[in-house]
Structure 1
């Protein structure tokens, strides 16, 4: 009966464990971490001599543990058996659970309810980086069913969690298959397999070799007219660099042969002069999308506007962070860009920007792009490396046919992705709804009244 449900403070259900130990320099200690998904797991093993502190605290298997800084975002859980006797810091209070009043699984589910998390967030509202201390945590209350009912709820929730786990595994499998499908579509596109029938029906189009000759002539004229600078000759393409055999009429070339690439302006608040203008950083560039919701501003002089502006159709590529990550600027208005980004413009639209960005994504997912990186620790994609990148060039009319087929197929992939994301969201909402229903005193009371 609902009259058996009681409201109890955590301070009645939990007793803080404070087993302090002096660290022995020769003993190896287990250190733990807590994720925002409630996973209490091994962080590392270290000898006492390599730990900065002289003292530590011990956690026991079955203890409830939380992070003072992140408990309101889900960083709490139960210490698993394999981490018994693990070493924790002051920032991870742990508590022995009174199992005569509450089962550990029920405690974790109740603390994880949105209603309880909102109480925790209220404790940090309007303040900076707040630590939720033990006294604050233990002052909060839970509504508890009796142990017999808790046991029934555990069995029911475990069953639902098992089904949810199976569903999440299936969703992950579907996402993996979808990624492979995207890769396969693009791989067949750049190898010419998607347009095999198109070539048979259109045998007399201008070859890529002729296209490249025209582009080289146009580039030479731009250099002569002093519109672009003359670049150092690019090395010839070795046979080993070619990733696959090309169809007749196609040609391998280096990106620098057919495009004009440049880095943006260096941010220097003391030296930069001119008018404040919004600009793109690498943080604004995701795959296939440029996010302008969080732009910063930098000073640009009038003579720099053309040099450091991104125009409609330009490709913007990350130099660092996620080197090679790229998107197309599709807006009519121009925007400035920072040195952390490359701007790529093809000469006379000799190569499809859409096809190129998809090609970069394919090579990033397959690891091919890493051979163009520089730097041992922090990776970069320099302008020199970018110019050396080799790409397969189809005849111009065939490029249009490829893009049309790719966009049609990738639209289907996007629809599948939307369905997978929806299923994932529904699974999460279902679990939250089940927990809320199971531990909601009001809903239980309404059921009793209706009977």
Structure 2
């Protein structure tokens, strides 16, 4: 910290800031004087470093000692309104004022307690002072240790703290409390925004799959191909692909069909009994079809690599459930699976355009595989939905993230050690299907809403990240004497300290209060 101080300020040690009573400045007892065996479920509470850091005392994790043990450790008692500082941490120096509504407590070994001399300073001012960047750097300079960073009481006593006049301290505390209260309110408001954004996202998705989001579009476009015609085309294409693959399979075995009876083996997938979960969509001109009925029959709706093994530098990037976040996949974070393992799962090798859904662990994460992901694979925690032409992949992605769909998936989640959705349940999952043109319109509008939500979230996150530096800047300004006006009539801190030293060094017999007391006693006698 700069050695040049504002007018009227002075440097003071922790001893000069402390009260004159015994143990006004003390550390917690050594480990041999306070052991785990001394802990009780009631009695006198103990104060730990974690409570100072979070500035919250008491609670389910509070430890106690007996009244008798507390009496032995009387030198380490902290009382309401006194200052607490951590002497261990990375770095040490976190501080808190012990609350006025708490009972007296015993500090533990890695804590320092300071009872301020109220003629010189206050706990409120010292707490703010110790949190300022300049003073924190002073504390760090006095920190020693390799495995554990510690600030000894001896080194703490050697620090020269900048001290304003007493009246200026009071003005600083009042101003800082006002500014920091504004900062806290702003942060609380910012912290509430992510939950509001999530509600907004869910509201948009609900509206999209109730048909509300595109009601105006349907009214303006009554002549688009009906969803029923689209579904006929999808079913026809699905059957054609199945027949083509089945014929190739028979031919590869040398079994040429003599008639068309083999085609009767094709089974049209059916929805489960939850087809009405999205409401009366038929009134919108939509139809309902099962997931399996909208996917390539030759690829099915499978999960991927069962045992991915150890990561391999030249391996195949593989999507796991944790990679599906915010409708996207960070390719740089994908695990690389050995080619010898991946080659056993060619069925789930990606081509691009597949809908990927987390069905194990954190169920419900969903994204669409991009063209860049061609040749990559998925793990068993992820299901692949290779939708057919006529089905917009991002439409299905948003559908599976909607409140109605997530509730259905949650109801189908099974398992004890690891929760998951069975593929049979996913294959029969109902999809409310509008025309292709309306699917595209829904995706466009949801994309726009999600983009706006992400933009707000970025601005919010940036504002939250700036809050600590803003508070640090305010504290730094206060400790440079720039936050409040200085009053030339204030008693300088140097004069105040000198006067307190003189009072402390004054013999007991020279105390005028003591002399007048003796005179009164003589008169009574």
TM-score range (shorter-chain normalised) is 0.7 to 0.9
Q: How far, CA to CA, are the matches of 2:134 and 2:285 in structure 1?
A: 65
Shift of 1:236: 4.0
SS in 1 for 2:284: coil
- Greater Cα shift, 77-86 or 253-262: 77-86
Shift of 1:299: 0.7
Q: How far, CA to CA, are the matches of 2:302 and 2:138 in structure 1?
A: 51
SS in 1 for 2:331: coil
- Number of the residue aligned with 1:300: 339
1:15 maps to which of 26, 46, 55: 26
Q: How far, CA to CA, are the matches of 2:181 and 2:364 in structure 1?
A: 40
| Structure 1 residue 398 corresponds to structure 2 residue 438 | yes
Shift of 1:374: 2.3
Shift of 1:48: 8.3
Matches within 5 A, 1:422-433: 422-433=462-473
Q: Structure 1 residues 367, 338: CA separation in 2 closer, same or farther (over 3 Å shift)?
A: same
- Number of the residue aligned with 2:423: 383
Q: Given the two structures, how large is their TM-score scaled by the length of structure 2?
A: 0.66
- Greater Cα shift, 210-219 or 394-403: 210-219
1:321-352, CA deviations, whole angstroms, 9 ceiling, x for partnerless residues?
Answer: 43212223335243634525414333224433
Matches within 5 A, 1:244-263: 244-246=279-281, 247-259=283-295, 260-263=300-303
| Structure 1 residue 40 corresponds to structure 2 residue 53 | no
Query: Gaps (5+ residues) in structure 1?
Result: 50-55
Q: How far, CA to CA, are the matches of 2:205 and 2:396 in structure 1?
A: 10
* Contact 1:31 1:45 (C-alpha < 8 Å) held by counterparts: no
SS in 2 for 1:253: strand
Q: How far, CA to CA, are the matches of 2:105 and 2:52 in structure 1?
A: 19
| Structure 1 residue 168 corresponds to structure 2 residue 204 | no
| Structure 1 residue 4 corresponds to structure 2 residue 13 | no
* Contact 1:65 1:79 (C-alpha < 8 Å) held by counterparts: no
Shift of 1:356: 3.0
CA RMSD of aligned residues (A): 4.7
Q: How far, CA to CA, are the matches of 1:124 and 1:350 in structure 2?
A: 67
Matches within 5 A, 1:226-265: 236-238=271-273, 242-246=277-281, 247-259=283-295, 260-265=300-305
1:194 maps to which of 213, 220, 224: 213
* Contact 2:275 2:288 (C-alpha < 8 Å) held by counterparts: no
- Number of the residue aligned with 1:53: none
- Greater Cα shift, 400-409 or 334-343: 334-343
SS in 1 for 2:372: coil
2:177 maps to which of 158, 171, 191: 158
Shift of 1:398: 1.0
Query: Gaps (5+ residues) in structure 2?
Result: 1-5, 19-24, 66-72, 250-264, 488-525
* Contact 1:10 1:142 (C-alpha < 8 Å) held by counterparts: no
SS in 1 for 2:376: strand
* Contact 1:31 1:88 (C-alpha < 8 Å) held by counterparts: yes
Greater Rg over alpha carbons, structure? 2
- Number of the residue aligned with 2:262: none
Q: How far, CA to CA, are the matches of 1:121 and 1:261 in structure 2?
A: 58
Shift of 1:6: 1.9
Q: How far, CA to CA, are the matches of 2:361 and 2:77 in structure 1?
A: 39
* Contact 1:279 1:297 (C-alpha < 8 Å) held by counterparts: yes
Matches within 5 A, 1:301-380: 301=340, 303-304=343-344, 306-334=346-374, 336-339=376-379, 341-363=381-403, 369-376=409-416, 378-380=418-420
Q: Structure 1 residues 420, 346: CA separation in 2 closer, same or farther (over 3 Å shift)?
A: same
Q: How far, CA to CA, are the matches of 2:137 and 2:318 in structure 1?
A: 37
Shift of 1:250: 0.9
Q: Structure 1 residues 29, 112: CA separation in 2 closer, same or farther (over 3 Å shift)?
A: same
* Contact 1:208 1:396 (C-alpha < 8 Å) held by counterparts: yes
Q: How far, CA to CA, are the matches of 1:59 and 1:362 in structure 2?
A: 53
* Contact 2:349 2:375 (C-alpha < 8 Å) held by counterparts: yes
Q: How far, CA to CA, are the matches of 1:257 and 1:426 in structure 2?
A: 50
Shift of 1:174: 4.8
Q: How far, CA to CA, are the matches of 2:333 and 2:51 in structure 1?
A: 28
Matches within 5 A, 1:139-150: 139=156, 141=159, 143-146=161-164, 147-150=166-169
Shift of 1:425: 4.4
- Number of the residue aligned with 2:115: 98
1:398-425, CA deviations, whole angstroms, 9 ceiling, x for partnerless residues?
Answer: 1112222223344344444444445444
- Number of the residue aligned with 1:276: 315
